[in-house]
Structures are given as structure tokens and as C-alpha cells.
């Protein structure tokens, strides 16, 4: 049993939509052994994480990856950029590693509570992400929003409930909160599909697909 969250649902949809475009040798930055996404067209899949206990294939900072230039075809980096102190350095490393024509699929939050403190540094708008990628030399092919006003509001409410009630530590609370969170998530996502244009000024986060020329 899990607590449903709009961000988790929408994030999985975004990643599932774009990972078939990732081909060849793939590096998943920020992933330990517990998170390996299905990338059907990748011929190899390696993970990188700075945590020695993560079980990742490569233990290193995303700001200084111990691999040679132009050695990777595709890079996946989900919900990592907010946790690095120098995001421009991470994008420069991604650009350096990719072969010409290589793709980077990256997701980042615009709204989220503090987490993994003290290593929680930034939140990103679509405009900020585009500037970071284009300043590095990438061509941004897709920039997709994750959630509107209703999903954002529901995400905040559910996260506050998790922080206050600690359902993963209390079985009875989990039995009460899990169905409620599922209903609220479904309702919020439905409301977003029927919302007006102004509701899309709010976003949980963004998904970027960028190519190295």
C-alpha cells in the first residue's frame, strides 16, 4: 500500500513517454540500485550516484563524472538537479559526456517541500531550465509541464499529511490515508484537464528533452 501523489503519477507518465527515445549506451544520473527505469532501446544501462550505499554502478558527484568525453548516447536525470549546488556544472558534464546527437532526458521540480536537507538548493521554472540548457549548448526539443493548479495544490496537501501523520510508520494511518490520497490525486488530475488557461501558471515540475548538436 502506498500514498498516491499527483507528482508521482505524472512523473511516471512523462518518463514512460520519453524513455523510448533514449538509445544506445545510457547513463542514469542520480540513480542507485532501487531505481532503474525501463528504457527499451538502450543497449546498456549504468547508474551513477554520489552515495556509496546506493549500489549505483558509478559512485561520483554529478558535477565531476569520471568518464571520458563523447562516450554516452543517452542520459537520464530525474529529480536530481534541485539537489546539486552547481546545476550549471552538472549540465556541462552531461554535455561533455554525450556524443553528438545524444539526448538528455531531465526532470526537475518547480514546487516541492524541503527534502533531503541540507542538500536541497533550487526549484526551476520552464524559463530557467531553458536558459540553463541553451547556455550549455543544448537544443531543447521538448519542455513539458507536470501538473497545473489543482495537481499542485493536491500535491502540497498530500505531502503535508505525510509529514504530519507519518503513514509509512503507522499502519492504521496508512489504511486511512492511502484511499483518501488516491481519490484526491485522481480528482486533482481530472480537474486539471478541465481547467482554464490561468491554472497552468502553476506547475509541480517540468520534463526536458534536449539534444547535443
Q: Domain 6-211, CATH 3.40.50.150 — does that match?
A: yes
- Measured distance CA(32)–CA(26) in Å, rounded: 14
To the nearest 10 degrees (0 to 180), the angle between helices 149-165 and 171-193 is 170
For the cut 80, the answer to whether the pLDDT of residue 7 exceeds it is yes
Output the nine-digit C-alpha cell for 103.
539526448
Least Cα distance to 74 among 92, 99, 91, 93 occurs for 99
Q: What is the pLDDT of residues 24-81, one digit of tens each?
A: 999 999 986 556 788 999 999 999 999 888 889 999 999 999 999 999 999 999 999 9
Under the phi-then-psi rule, with left for phi > 0, alpha for psi from -120 to 50, and beta for the rest, what region is 200?
alpha
DSSP state of 33: T
Least Cα distance to 27 among 105, 135, 136, 115 occurs for 105
Tell me the pTM. Answer: 0.94
Least Cα distance to 194 among 148, 133, 141, 146 occurs for 148
How crowded is residue 43: how many other Cβ atoms within 10 Å of its Cβ?
Answer: 11
Least Cα distance to 196 among 138, 129, 150, 145 occurs for 150
Classified as helix, coil or strand, 121 is coil
DSSP state of 172: H
Calculate mean pLDDT across residues 164-193: 96
Distance of CA 12 to the CA centre of its chain: 9
Q: What is the pLDDT of residues 109-139, one digit of tens each?
A: 999 999 999 999 999 999 999 999 999 999 9
Amino acid at each position: 500500500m502506498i500514498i498516491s501523489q499527483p507528482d508521482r503519477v505524472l512523473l511516471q507518465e512523462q518518463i514512460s513517454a520519453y524513455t523510448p527515445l533514449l538509445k544506445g549506451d545510457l547513463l542514469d544520473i542520480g540513480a542507485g540500485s532501487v531505481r532503474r527505469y525501463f528504457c527499451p532501446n538502450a543497449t546498456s544501462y549504468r547508474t551513477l550516484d554520489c552515495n556509496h550505499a546506493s549500489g549505483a554502478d558509478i559512485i561520483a558527484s554529478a558535477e565531476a563524472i569520471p568518464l571520458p568525453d563523447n562516450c554516452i548516447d543517452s542520459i537520464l536525470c530525474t529529480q536530481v538537479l534541485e539537489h546539486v549546488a552547481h546545476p550549471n556544472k552538472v549540465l556541462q558534464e552531461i554535455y561533455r559526456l554525450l556524443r553528438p546527437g545524444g539526448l538528455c532526458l531531465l526532470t526537475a521540480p518547480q514546487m516541492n517541500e524541503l527534502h533531503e536537507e541540507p542538500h536541497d538548493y533550487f526549484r526551476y521554472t520552464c524559463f530557467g531550465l531553458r536558459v540553463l540548457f541553451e547556455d550549455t549548448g543544448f537544443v531543447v526539443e521538448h519542455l513539458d509541464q507536470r501538473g497545473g493548479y489543482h495537481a499542485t495544490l493536491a500535491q502540497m496537501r498530500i505531502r503535508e499529511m505525510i509529514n504530519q501523520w507519518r503513514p509509512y510508520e503507522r499502519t492504521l494511518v496508512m489504511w486511512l490515508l492511502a484511499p483518501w490520497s488516491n481519490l484526491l490525486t485522481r480528482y486533482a488530475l481530472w480537474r486539471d484537464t478541465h481547467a482554464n488557461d490561468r491554472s497552468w501558471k502553476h506547475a509541480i515540475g517540468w520534463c526536458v528533452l534536449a539534444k547535443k548538436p
